[in-house]
């Protein structure tokens, strides 16, 4: 037990350390075992600008949803999605012009908030809501 905890600690600390301001939310992300085939979740394409998401009210079917984010703004952005059982964010902030994607388990219908966790971008308007239909 101790050995397991120790090795987990080492693994968790192994990452690069350039930007750790936003908590260690990514440590749990590996929990999702590579869902073996066929899930066929939806993909939502989002454009991040200074300072909003477009669209800011997408609708999807319940399931594993992948958000493809393009930073069309002129400053760094990210995307964090508050799913029903977990929150997920892009592994790295997006520089202007960059793209990234993050998958979230949205298997329960409802509405879930997403926002940009960089600086005060959420307060500036980088917030939206995804509607999940069962």
Q: What is the CA radius of gyration of the chain?
A: 16
Q: Which of 116, 128, 130, 132 binds Cu ion (CB under 5 A)?
A: 116
94 binding Cu ion? (CB under 5 A): no
Q: Closest approach of Cβ 119 to Cu ion, in Å?
A: 7
Nearer to Cu ion, 26 or 47 (CB): 47
Burial of 63 per CB tally in 10 Å (0-12, 13-18, 19+): middle
- Structure tokens given for 132: 């999940």
DSSP 31-46: GS----S-----EEEE
Q: Closest approach of Cβ 16 to Cu ion, in Å?
A: 21
121 binding Cu ion? (CB under 5 A): yes
Residues that bind Cu ion (CB under 5 A): 77, 116, 118, 121, 126
């Amino acid at each position: 037990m101790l050995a397991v905890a120790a090795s987990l600690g080492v693994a968790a600390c192994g990452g690069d350390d350039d930007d750790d301001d936003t908590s260690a939310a990514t440590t749990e992300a590996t929990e999702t075992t590579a869902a073996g085939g066929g899930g066929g979740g939806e993909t939502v394409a989002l454009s991040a600008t200074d300072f909003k998401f477009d669209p800011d009210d997408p609708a999807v079917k319940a399931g594993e949803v992948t958000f493809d984010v393009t930073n069309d703004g002129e400053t760094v952005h990210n995307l964090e999605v508050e799913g029903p059982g977990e929150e997920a964010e892009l592994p790295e902030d997006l520089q202007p012009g960059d793209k990234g994607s993050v998958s979230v388990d949205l298997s329960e219908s409802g509405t879930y908030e997403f926002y940009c966790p960089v600086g005060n971008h959420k307060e500036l308007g980088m917030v939206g809501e995804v509607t999940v239909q069962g």
